[in-house]
Amino acid sequence: MKLVDLLSALDPVQVLEAPDVTVTGIAADSRAVRPGDLFVCIPGAHVDAHQFIPDALRRGAVAVVTQRPWAVPAGIGAAVVPDARLALSALADRFYGHPSRALRMVGVTGTNGKTTTAFLVEAIARTAGKAMGVIGTAGMMLGREVLEGKSGYTTPEPQTIHRLLAAMLQRGAWGAVMEVSSHALEQRRTDHCRFDVAVFTNLTHEHLDYHGDMEGYYAAKARLFRGLQPGAAAVVNIDDPYGRRLAEEIPAGVRTLTYGFSEGRTSGPRTCTSPARAPATGSSRRWARPTWRPRTSSAPTMCPTPWPRWGPVWPWASRCRTPVAALRQPRARRAGSSASMRGRTSRWWWTTPTRRTASRSCSPTWPGSRSRAPG
């Protein structure tokens, strides 16, 4: 892509130099720069990437985007922006052709449950005959194809996100589900991803060293929902006090679907509630929505642990017109096992995602729930 065309994605921007060069990639780490790349200098908490401009140029960068003016060598493109992180997101989206606009995008955020929820969403779509990519803690994949392994981040950098979405689109993906961390939201990595559905699972005391306090942590999570466009949907756990608050702050024009596991939890324009019966071979919950006839679905488990994970999935499947019958298929029901579930119960494998979060993965409205993980 021509540099001048790529820079047109930035507003506001001060273009210092715009030679007639072709940009072949985008990098925010000078060590990852390849010949033909545009290098974006992002000031960090401890290191300022502006000091690595000479290294990026030696590696073949043809243009540099910074937050302050600098002495530009002849033949090098240069632009100054007020927010380099936002610029990186906009540039990546433009460079890869706005892939999120052509996919059914689902963003999942919350302290716990993101990975399991993401894999359940993918499995339901796959069972319904729709190819859905996954971007998250376990890696980046489309069906059985691993596009990229674990990156060290729950949510990758913008240039990686949009590159992967473009690759999924080229491979015929119908949609993509992404784990969206609070760090990614704070650092604007997903600002130019257009989400059709955003899911909130819960909020507990984590990452306070980064966000300062729970209010800062909540504000970061809420960014995902504030960025939703009219016509999109928000799926919110209203058993969580921050979820109840979030449900009241969803932007106008965004459809709100809530779910909960407390007896009588029926607030919200669209609600999934419990209970039903608990057969010896598993558990069953009745999903009631004001405009639908109630439905009952079963999951093979010895305790209600999976249901805080299934809760956000049911309304998503309905929102994206995925056949409800797909949730009853064995492939969909055992999907979470591929993510991180390791405890054996009856025929399938179910338990909490990790030992560290075991006590949090069972809904607080089900006292006495315990992980069945062996050992």
Would you give per-residue pLDDT tens digits along the chain (375 residues)?
Answer: 999 999 999 999 999 999 999 999 999 999 999 999 999 999 887 888 899 999 999 999 999 999 999 999 999 999 999 999 999 999 999 999 999 999 999 999 999 989 989 998 998 888 889 999 999 999 999 998 999 988 778 999 999 999 999 999 999 999 999 999 999 999 999 999 999 999 999 998 777 767 779 999 999 999 999 999 999 999 999 989 999 999 999 999 999 988 876 655 544 444 443 333 333 334 444 444 444 344 444 443 333 334 445 556 655 565 555 555 555 554 554 554 444 443 333 222 222 333 344 333 333 322 233 333 223
Q: Which pLDDT does position 45 carry in this prediction? A: 77
Domain-located, residue 138: yes
Residue 55's domain spans which residues? 3-95
For residues 116 and 212, state if they share a domain.
yes
For residues 195 and 309, state if they share a domain.
yes
Q: Which pLDDT does position 222 carry in this prediction? A: 96
For residues 317 and 299, state if they share a domain.
yes
Q: Which pLDDT does position 69 carry in this prediction? A: 93
For residues 246 and 351, state if they share a domain.
yes
CB 22 within 8 A of CB 3: yes
Q: Which pLDDT does position 359 carry in this prediction? A: 32
For residues 83 and 135, state if they share a domain.
no
Q: Which pLDDT does position 191 carry in this prediction? A: 97
CB 324 within 8 A of CB 295: yes
For residues 118 and 254, state if they share a domain.
yes
For residues 177 and 108, state if they share a domain.
yes
Q: Which pLDDT does position 182 carry in this prediction? A: 94
Residue with tokens 């949907």: 233
For residues 67 and 148, state if they share a domain.
no
Last residue of a domain, one of 95, 125, 145: 95
Last residue of a domain, one of 70, 95, 120: 95
Phi and psi (nearest 5°) for 224?
-60, -40
CA 142 to the chain's CA centroid: 15
| SS3 per residue for the chain | CEHHHHHCCCCCCEEEECCCCECCEEECCHHHCCCCEEEECCECCCCEHHHHHHHHHHCCCCEEEECCCCCCCCCCEEEECCCHHHHHHHHHHHHCCCHHHHCEEEEEECCCCHHHHHHHHHHHHHHCCCCEEEEECCEEEECCEEEECCCCCCCCCHHHHHHHHHHHHHCCCCEEEEECCHHHHHCCCCCCCCCCEEEECCCCCCCHHHHCCHHHHHHHHHHHHHCCCCCCEEEEECCCHHHHHHHHCCCCCCEEEEEEEEECCCCCCCEEEECCCCCCCCEEEEECCCCCCCEEEEECCCCCCCHHHHCCHHHHHHHCCCCHHHHHCHHHHCCHHHHCCCCEECCEECCCCCCCCHHHHCCCCCCCCCCCCCC
Domain with residue 56: its CATH number is: 3.40.1390.10
Question: How many domains are contained in the chain?
Answer: 2
Domain-located, residue 370: no
Last residue of a domain, one of 77, 95, 113: 95
For residues 68 and 51, state if they share a domain.
yes
Domain with residue 278: its CATH number is: 3.40.1190.10
Domain-located, residue 373: no
Domain-located, residue 371: no
Residue with tokens 């800062």: 216
For residues 243 and 353, state if they share a domain.
yes
